[in-house]
Amino acid sequence: MLGYVAIGIPCGILSNSIGMNALQVFVMSIVFYSGAGQFMIPNMWIAGAPMASIIASVSLVNTRQMLYSAAFAPVCRTANKLLSFMFAASVTDESYGVNVIKFEEGGWTVARATMVNAFSNSSWTLSNVLGVLVGDAIGIPLAVAAFAMTSIFICLLLDQKMTPSNVVAIVVAFVGVFVCKCVGLSGPAILIGAVCGVVAAMVFATVRGESLHGEADGSREAEVS
């Protein structure tokens, strides 16, 4: 919960800086409910990105939620439809980690998991609104508030499994963003860079004959090495 407060306040400050009011931030936090997304919107807006670029980039980053959703499908098979919907709609990077462990331990229910999500959502929403309210009062420079999210992205990036294919994805995305900015495409840079990274990693994994769960196909491996 403390994590949501520490990240939510700078997020609220940043949202406020582009003219979003407490009501807008409140609705955004409850419904959209995405740390990465809610930082990306003001950051890209300040950078002057067109709305279409903001929506496309945020939506691309949203797609990682499909993995979490698929992972929870088995435990929700027997649960009530409405409850499953409420649960699925409120999964985040952090609460996914907590609930996966609880479900593996056993004795955990979708209802309880939904409660965890609801508490997380509340503390996220409250700290965002608090950020809006204190944003004007305490003069934290925007660059400093924005760096909270940069720091979190760095942490999330370093927590990825450093398989060869993932490293390809990371390097190509990194270079892709810089190249986009150099040729004047700073609006869609995140989107183009990330898509290049994914495509490069897919090609790399296919060429290496890597199977999905890490264990490379033996004969192909011998050829490569």
Partner 1 sequence: MEPMGWTQFFIVFACCSVTMIICRVAPLFLLKGRALPEQVERALGFIPPAAFAALVANDLLSPNMFDAGLWPAAIPLLAAAVVVVVAKRTHSLLWCGIAGVIAYALLMAIPL
Return the residue of 101, 111, 118, 147 that touches partner 1, per CB under 8 A.
147
> Toward partner 1, which CB reaches closer, 115 or 206?
206
**Measured from the CB of residue 107, what is the shortest distance to partner 1 in angstroms?**
20
Residue written as tokens 């740390």? 35
Return the residues of window 123-142 that contact partner 1 according to CB under 8 A: 141
Regarding 164 and contact with partner 1 (CB under 8 A), the answer is no
24 binds partner 1 (CB under 8 A): yes
Half-sphere exposure of 151 (CA within 13 A, CB side): 11
The region of 121-129, 130-138, 199-207, 216-224 touching partner 1 under the rule CB under 8 A is 199-207
| Least distance to partner 1, CB of residue 223, Å | 21
Is 33 near partner 1 (CB under 8 A)? yes
The DSSP string of 66-127 is: HHHHHHHHHHHTTS-HHHHHHHHTT--HHHHHHHHHHHHHSS--HHHHHHHHHHHHHHHHHH
Determine which residue in the list 12, 13, 14, 20 makes contact with partner 1, applying CB under 8 A. 20
Torsion of CA 119, 61, 181, 172, to 10 degrees: 120
Please report how close the Cβ of residue 195 comes to partner 1 at its closest, in angstroms. Answer: 8
Among 13, 14, 113, 145, the residue binding partner 1 under the rule CB under 8 A is 145
By CB under 8 A, which span of 47-55, 99-107, 123-131, 215-223 interacts with partner 1?
47-55
Q: How far is the CB of 220 from partner 1 (least distance, A)?
A: 16
d(Cα 131, Cα 28) in Å, to the nearest integer?
14
Q: Which of 12, 131, 135, 193 binds partner 1 (CB under 8 A)?
A: 193
10: enclosing H helix or E strand: helix 2-17
Binding test (CB under 8 A) with partner 1, winner from 46, 126, 133, 134: 46
Task: Give every CB contact of residue 50 below 8 A, 6+ residues apart in sequence.
Answer: 187
Closest alpha carbon to 108 in 120, 95, 121: 95
Question: Of residues 12, 13, 14, 84, which one binds partner 1 by CB under 8 A?
Answer: 84
User: Burial, 223: exposed, middle or buried (Cβ in 10 Å; 0-12, 13-18, 19+)?
Assistant: exposed
